[in-house]
């Protein structure tokens, strides 16, 4: 065989995920070093903060870096990030950040990661447009190394080769990623559905997925979100027909709320508005940002004269207007929430409004969405939501789509991702029902380290992967102690005792302040009793000649706790304040 033929064969093998045999070091340490580690840092046992690291020898590539919105008991927390500790400890190994799509749970943590590690980013055009907006806000755009890829591209990153494969989802330019290393090949679906009639005509590339499967995939990581739903997810195009039906003959102003990132949904609203000669208003910060990025990059098409500024609405009759707005999840500070509460600057809701909620509540948001709907109905508007019209379809595949991907990829091993604990377990059971041995199915937790090569796969350890809380400008400085304090304050309130001391003796007070516990003017007897309990505690300290402030505070807290619980059966946070004069 000629040298040219050998080079050609090596290149072909490289594309197919095959690599020339490497010499073994002749010891277990050498063989172990040649394995691929798969480390989920976020996204397992939860919906959000998706992030997975792939480590081979002295190189790491990361797939996605998202955020999670706080749970109900995370009082005051703005967002939750993945734990970057392991990546920071191995910063010199981190070579690339690969992004599947532009949803917040996949890109929302990027700016925070880049403040710690300046890693090159690889993403499709629309996804990169959304990332650029975030990096600009954080003043990182000039430092970030950004590489735009498209579906079908392959990039070489050290020993890794990453191939981007088109999938369908509820946001444009979504891709799956096949990561090939000398040790193993991993296929990561990202978030996906199978849509044979997508709005942009870009059908999921099942042919390429099947081709990769035929060449051998050692591990499949697959989206588990809709595993509890039977059948197939409906095509996004079905929603457009509903919009046309709702717009036809409607004499009201139409207000449509949906996820800002769903540019295909927004395009269908625009198309229906233009078909019925309505002017379009874009409202809400995230919707305005998305619309700007999508129109600049050509993902949304609308005649310039069809879009008007919100302040121009008064020039038009209600039946000539469509407002596309944020607030589909019932967020009180989003545009629709402000309308429902009557404090929107430009939009007051009334009987001349038809409001279409083109989204389903994210788990945990059902109550907020119901409250917004009730408020809008009370204001006299007509509200249309998913229970009464087919105005929303999911961006995630259901069980039959998961089966199809599993069958096409034919993985040797499987790890469900992107889902709460029950979803991961159900997806694992589905893989086993399709014939995969249960010893090759791994239901992991964040931080678990999975090690594999072409011969096998096993769990070998764990890295730190605790949730990192963001509160204002503080990142990671809020922990369980502070959250527990906030929880107590929210449940039983605060009881403050102020005493002026001189040489260990009280000379003034106790003065009492109650916040969120009792209204003092209506609870004078309780407050007077509390003062007496504090005085008794101080007298005991004086008799025992206790001058240590820490002990005095502790005795006051104990006395007040017993008294207040006896009188109210409640446990406020008690805060004694001693001042020296």
Active site residues: 223, 396
DSSP reduced 3-state for 277 = coil
Alpha carbons 338 and 133: distance in angstroms, whole number: 25
Please report the sign of the dihedral spanned by the C-alpha atoms of residue 263, residue 265, residue 268, residue 273. Answer: negative
Q: How far apart are CA 208 and CA 151, in angstroms?
A: 11
Distance CA 289, CA 578 (A): 51
CA 396 to each of CA 105, 287, 358, 421: distance values in angstroms, whole numbers, following the listed order: 14, 21, 16, 17
Phi, psi at 303, each rounded to 5°:
-60, 140
Beta strands in 181-231 (DSSP E): 185-188, 219-223
Q: CA 573 to CA 561: how far, in whole Å?
A: 9
Distance CA 457, CA 252 (A): 60
In this structure, are strands 321-325 and 353-357 parallel, antiparallel, or unpaired? unpaired
Find all residues with CB under 8 Å of 151, minimum gap 6, and list them.
124, 164, 165, 166, 173, 175, 202, 205
Structural tokens at position 191 = 């978030």
Q: How many other CB atoms are found less than 10 A from the CB of residue 162?
A: 22
CA-based radius of gyration for the chain? 29
What's the length of the chain? Answer: 581
Q: Which residues touch 217 (CB under 8 Å, ≥6 apart)?
A: 178, 185, 186, 187, 409, 410, 411, 412
- C-alpha 401, offset from chain centre: 23
Q: Is 168 helix (H, G, I), strand (E, B) or coil?
A: strand
Q: Are 85 and 51 in contact (CB under 8 A)?
A: no
- Looking at residue 438, the DSSP 8-state letter turns out to be G
Q: Whole-angstrom Cα distance, residue 385 to residue 149? A: 37
CA distance 287 to 327: 10
Q: From start to end of 251-325, where are the E strands?
A: 253-257, 279-283, 307-308, 321-325
User: How far, in Å, CA of 507 to CA of 148, rounded?
Assistant: 71
């Amino acid at each position: 065989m000629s040298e040219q033929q050998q080079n050609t064969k090596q290149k072909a093998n490289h594309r197919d995920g095959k690599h020339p045999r490497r010499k073994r070091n002749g010891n277990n340490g050498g063989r172990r070093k040649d394995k691929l580690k798969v480390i989920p840092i976020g996204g397992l046992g939860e919906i959000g903060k998706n992030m997975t690291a792939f480590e081979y020898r002295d190189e790491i590539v990361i797939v996605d870096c998202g955020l999670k919105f706080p749970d109900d008991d995370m009082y005051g927390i703005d967002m939750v990030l993945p734990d970057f500790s392991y990546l920071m400890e191995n910063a010199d190994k981190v070579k690339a950040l690969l992004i599947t799509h532009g949803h917040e749970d996949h890109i929302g943590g990027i700016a925070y990661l880049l403040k710690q590690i300046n890693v090159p980013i690889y993403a499709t055009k629309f996804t990169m447009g959304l990332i650029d907006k975030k990096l600009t806000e954080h003043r990182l755009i000039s430092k970030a190394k950004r590489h735009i890829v498209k579906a079908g591209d392959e990039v070489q990153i050290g020993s890794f080769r990453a191939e981007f494969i088109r999938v369908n989802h509820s946001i444009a330019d979504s891709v799956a990623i096949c990561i090939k290393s000398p040790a193993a090949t991993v296929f990561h679906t990202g978030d996906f559905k199978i849509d044979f009639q997508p709005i942009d005509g870009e059908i999921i590339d099942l042919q390429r997925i099947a081709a990769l499967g035929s060449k051998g995939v050692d591990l499949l990581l697959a989206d588990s979100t809709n595993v509890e739903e039977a059948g197939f997810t409906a095509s996004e195009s079905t929603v457009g027909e509903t919009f046309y039906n709702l717009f036809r003959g409607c004499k009201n102003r139409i207000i449509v709320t949906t996820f800002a990132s769903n540019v295909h949904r927004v395009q269908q609203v625009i198309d229906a508005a233009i078909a019925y000669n309505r002017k379009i208003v874009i409202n809400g910060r995230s919707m305005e940002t998305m619309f700007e990025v999508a129109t600049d990059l050509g993902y949304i098409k609308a005649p310039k004269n069809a879009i008007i500024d919100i302040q121009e609405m008064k020039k038009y009759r209600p039946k000539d207007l469509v407002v596309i707005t944020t607030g589909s999840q019932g967020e009180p500070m989003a545009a629709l929430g402000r309308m429902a509460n009557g404090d929107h600057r430009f939009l007051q809701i009334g009987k001349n409004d038809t409001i279409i909620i083109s989204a389903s509540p994210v788990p945990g948001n059902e109550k907020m969405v119901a409250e917004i709907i009730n408020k809008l109905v009370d204001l006299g508007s007509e509200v249309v939501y998913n229970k009464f019209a087919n105005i929303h379809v999911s961006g995630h595949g259901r069980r039959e789509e998961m089966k199809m991907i599993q069958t096409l990829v034919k993985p040797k091993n499987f790890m469900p991702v992107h889902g709460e604990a029950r979803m991961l377990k159900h997806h694992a059971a589905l893989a086993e029902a399709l014939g995969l041995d249960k010893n090759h199915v791994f239901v992991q937790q964040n931080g678990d380290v999975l090690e594999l090569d072409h011969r096998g796969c096993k769990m070998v350890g764990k890295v730190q992967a605790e949730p990192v809380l963001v509160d204002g400008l503080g990142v990671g400085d809020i922990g369980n102690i502070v959250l527990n304090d906030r929880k107590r304050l929210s449940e039983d309130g605060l009881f403050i005792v102020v005493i002026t001391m001189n040489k260990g003796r009280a000379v003034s007070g106790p003065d009492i302040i109650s916040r969120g516990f009792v209204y003092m003017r209506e609870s004078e007897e309780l407050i007077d009793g509390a003062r007496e309990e504090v005085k008794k505690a101080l007298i005991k300290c004086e008799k025992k000649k206790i001058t240590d402030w820490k002990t005095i505070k502790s005795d006051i807290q104990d006395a007040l706790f017993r008294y207040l619980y006896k009188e109210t059966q409640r446990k406020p946070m008690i805060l004694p304040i001693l001042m020296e004069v």
